[in-house]
Structure 1
Amino acid sequence: MTGSAPAAGGDHGLVDIAVIGGGINGAGIARDAAGRGLKVLLCEKDDFAEGTSSRSGKLIHGGLRYLEYYEFRLVREALIEREVLLASAPHIIWPMRFVLPHSPEQRPAWLLRTGLLLYDHLGGRKQLPASRSLDLARAPEGAPLHPEFRRGFEYSDCWVDDARLVILNLIDAAQRGASILPRTRAVRARRDGAVWLLELQGEDGRTQMVRARALVNAAGPWVQDVVQGVAGQNSAQSVRLVKGSHIVVPKFWTGPQAYLLQNSDRRVIFVNPYEDDLALIGTTDIPYDGRAEDVTIDEDETTYLLEVLRRYFRTPPQANEIIHAFSGVRPLYDDNADNPSAVTRDYVFEVHGAQDTPPLLSIFGGKITTYRRLAEQALQRLGPWFPAMASAWTARRPLPGGDVGGTFGDFVSGLTRDYPALPLKLIQHYARLYGTRARQLLGPPGASVDLGRHFGGAFYEREAIYLRETEWATRPADFLERRTKHGLHLTPEERAAFENYV
């Protein structure tokens, strides 16, 4: 493939902050810090969002079920952030309505209605419609469900392309001067006077030394490995690893709505529209003590998810209809809760270093919805070491491609007029993934667009080159699974051909 990856930032020399970890928390901190005038370097041992941050339920939400555990502050913060993020990236984040069938064996209807009313008002909802009651015997949303589910509720949250959220933060950080290093491992770090000496190793085995006034450990499931193994510090905090698995099947109901299903173990399962004609179903919550790199879905989890679907839907999918499955490890802050589902989704910071020594800030826990607020608070904790740092700014600025102006539908209409030779489905794909950056990908309006080789589905060579040149994509899975979801729409032969091309 022609083209080259984005520049790594040249000679790193002395940086203000070195961030270890290229998931959503690390990316958010790098973006925020770079926008405050700090010199930033971020390293990630694999591809960006290769771990937890591409294996979520792909929702920006307040966490309705967390109200049961009295996590009111966390839910309120998440609901406020839901509004901020929806405004900042309308191309990869959009509203979704969730239907919650009432199952009397689990929670009484009055409790659900009360919880939804609180959910409507706790975060100062402005952009999304309020919750409402549904007569599932008459409402079209009830048609796919078994007839015994006659009553339900509907409420709003948001969908997000999780891996792209990471990439957009990194693009913005790089545009603001940050050095972004994929597939670069933090080997060891030690204090040397007023700085950290951080040794990095690229995938080619070559090493380099970076001097940093502060280290941020945003390694997610590997946070303790960095504290102890890389930085040689003792930690009073810990994470609990919880495995969450999802399955992808052909969409088996009509309409744009998602479903939230209560199960007999008091967990809830999301059934969400995915990639137009597919459905994403999950998640499980299972304690995990293996290597985070090795996590996979097991047969019991698949059975669990399918049984929940059978309980609610008239024509649920069967095991042989599963076209994809994935698992992720959530590095939850260990609050000693007995039930994995009850472990807090809040986050905790730990800072090693006094005012006269360079700090190491480590992040335990967190969730994708609150990543931006987490980044603000992380930099607030580092404020004593950077008194000249500018103030918080990310709540008011769109992410790259998010400056669509007006409605997203109006933006798509504008692209359609500017590139009349392209099919509408392809225009919609570019608009969703790239927002206003789609014009950079496609070239001047009205000009003939050479898309190059067709790999299958909506995937053309022009997009592959763009991803390599602007989004650090180098390996097949970078292109097909994280930067895009083209891999779900290619035949095995088409996928093999693209892998040979790369």
Structure 2
Amino acid sequence: REALIERERLWRMAPHIIWPLEFVLPQSNSPRPAWLVRLGLFLYDHLGGRKRLPATRTVALDRDTIGNGLKPGNPKAFVYSDCWVEDSRLVVLNARDAADRGTTVLTHTRLVSARRAGAGGGWIATIENDEGGRRDVHARALVNAAGPWVADVLGTVPDARRDRGVRLIKGSHIVVPRLYDGGHAFLLQNPDKRVVFAIPYQENFTLIGTTDEAWQGAPGRSTIDQGEIDYLLETVDRYFERPVVQDDIVWTYSGIRPLYDDHAADASAVTRDYVLDLDGDDDRAPMLSVFGGKITTYRKLAEHALQELARFFPAAGRAWTEDATLPGGDMPDADFGRYLATLTARYPAMPAALLRRLARAYGTRTDALLGGAKVED
């Protein structure tokens, strides 16, 4: 429920990098009865306090153009709405916002070690930049939000508690030439009860993913394997009219998700919720470790993290991010289309594709970026 509530809140915070996306859920090849799927979507619509996103609707794929590109089958499908986010920009905007508010942001810097300085003495953390330069940083609290490396950070602290852990899950995607027309996505149900998304990507392509594979190695660079490619291609073949073979794949990418280890037997069943573990008391400087989590709930996770640390910072103010916007997101009514139209009117000679690209990346800060820019003849 928390994730459902947060999706519209994040859309309002950053409408230039977050926007609504319709998902079509065909009932062909569905391992679940249609009534059960519809019940789940009813709860999806009503538990999250939906205000701006459209409600779920039922469509007949043999009569609605939204089904173009799919193989003939059970014509019933459900259409629900969620949000798309440019995740890399979300990271950058949060760092930019923190820096604007006085935070020191150090990129290309790693934690070498951390130790408690003694009763009431806080932390002494040794950090190192990419040129090998080291220095000590003193802090009252340490937040271990290292994602896949959360256990590695715990390993740098001599007296850290290590009774929780993460389970690393690899998710892979393929990108192929566009499979269908329209700006909607498909949620494809497989016989193993896992789902795969087909999402419009960069105008001319379709993004297919993701997989869920246990990752046994150390966190780091990952690549798609042949089994994952076969799985995703089989899903495409199961649903779409247009045949796709491995040679059609123009790009692949993979990532490692650090999920809280709840000891689930199936990698796809591991919880996506987050767990906060506070190690500290009045005599030991606090360290808060974050296990798991996902993009949709990142703001709420941070709010909960500060609640956990509140007793160590009695002068801290109240939570405020619920009504804040991220850099570039301060658009009237969170209306990106209206802002883009205004920007286009100010720079009529600028190529439309360029203006849209800049507006999507920088939002209302595009004006500062362009300044008095002009197009040369």
Contact kept? 2:28, 2:73, Cα under 8 Å: no
Label 1:316 to 1:230 Cα distance change in 2 as closer, same or farther (>3 A).
farther
Equivalent-residue separation in structure 1 for 2:70 and 2:360 (angstroms): 30
Equivalent-residue separation in structure 2 for 1:323 and 1:309 (angstroms): 15
Cα distance, 1:294 vs structure 2? 3.1
Match of 1:342 among 247, 251, 269: 269
**SS state of the match for residue 398, structure 1?**
coil
1:74-473 counterparts in 2 under 5 A? 76-103=1-28, 105-193=30-118, 194-230=121-157, 232-406=159-333, 407-444=335-372, 447-448=373-374
Equivalent-residue separation in structure 2 for 1:432 and 1:231 (angstroms): 45
Equivalent-residue separation in structure 2 for 1:284 and 1:448 (angstroms): 46
Supply the RMSD in Å over aligned alpha carbons.
1.2
Letter in 1 for 2:342: G
Identity %: 54
Equivalent-residue separation in structure 2 for 1:345 and 1:246 (angstroms): 19
TM-score (norm 1): 0.73
Equivalent-residue separation in structure 2 for 1:306 and 1:341 (angstroms): 19
Letter in 2 for 1:416: T
Letter in 2 for 1:140: T
Task: Name 1:485's counterpart in structure 2.
Answer: none
Cα distance, 1:386 vs structure 2? 0.1
Task: Name 1:480's counterpart in structure 2.
Answer: none
**SS state of the match for residue 90, structure 1?**
coil
Letter in 2 for 1:411: Y
Contact kept? 1:252, 1:316, Cα under 8 Å: no
Cα distance, 1:233 vs structure 2? 1.4
Label 1:105 to 1:419 Cα distance change in 2 as closer, same or farther (>3 A).
closer
Equivalent-residue separation in structure 2 for 1:355 and 1:389 (angstroms): 17
Letter in 2 for 1:196: W
Task: Name 1:458's counterpart in structure 2.
Answer: none
* Gap regions ≥5 residues in structure 2: none
Contact kept? 2:340, 2:359, Cα under 8 Å: yes
Deviations 1:2-23 (A, max 9, x none): xxxxxxxxxxxxxxxxxxxxxx
Deviations 1:137-186 (A, max 9, x none): 11111121111131111000000000100110000000000000011010
Cα distance, 1:319 vs structure 2? 1.4
**SS state of the match for residue 105, structure 2?**
strand
Contact kept? 1:186, 1:230, Cα under 8 Å: no
1:34-49 counterparts in 2 under 5 A? none
Equivalent-residue separation in structure 2 for 1:394 and 1:443 (angstroms): 29
Deviations 1:110-153 (A, max 9, x none): 01111111111011100100001110111111121111131111
Deviations 1:274-332 (A, max 9, x none): 12222111000011111221321111101110110000000043211211111111110
Deviations 1:415-449 (A, max 9, x none): 111111211111111111110111121114xx525
Letter in 2 for 1:171: R
Contact kept? 2:23, 2:184, Cα under 8 Å: yes
Label 1:143 to 1:372 Cα distance change in 2 as closer, same or farther (>3 A).
same
Cα distance, 1:103 vs structure 2? 2.9
Equivalent-residue separation in structure 1 for 2:149 and 2:219 (angstroms): 8
Contact kept? 1:285, 1:341, Cα under 8 Å: yes
* Gap regions ≥5 residues in structure 1: 1-75, 451-502
Contact kept? 1:220, 1:364, Cα under 8 Å: yes
Equivalent-residue separation in structure 1 for 2:308 and 2:232 (angstroms): 41
Contact kept? 1:442, 1:449, Cα under 8 Å: no
Equivalent-residue separation in structure 2 for 1:231 and 1:431 (angstroms): 47
Equivalent-residue separation in structure 2 for 1:230 and 1:298 (angstroms): 35
Equivalent-residue separation in structure 2 for 1:164 and 1:316 (angstroms): 34
TM-score (norm 2): 0.96
Cα distance, 1:236 vs structure 2? 1.0
Equivalent-residue separation in structure 2 for 1:419 and 1:352 (angstroms): 54
Letter in 2 for 1:341: S
Equivalent-residue separation in structure 2 for 1:114 and 1:104 (angstroms): 18
Cα distance, 1:232 vs structure 2? 4.6
Letter in 1 for 2:225: D
Letter in 2 for 1:380: Q
Equivalent-residue separation in structure 2 for 1:108 and 1:413 (angstroms): 44
Contact kept? 2:28, 2:75, Cα under 8 Å: no
**SS state of the match for residue 293, structure 1?**
coil
Equivalent-residue separation in structure 2 for 1:231 and 1:202 (angstroms): 22
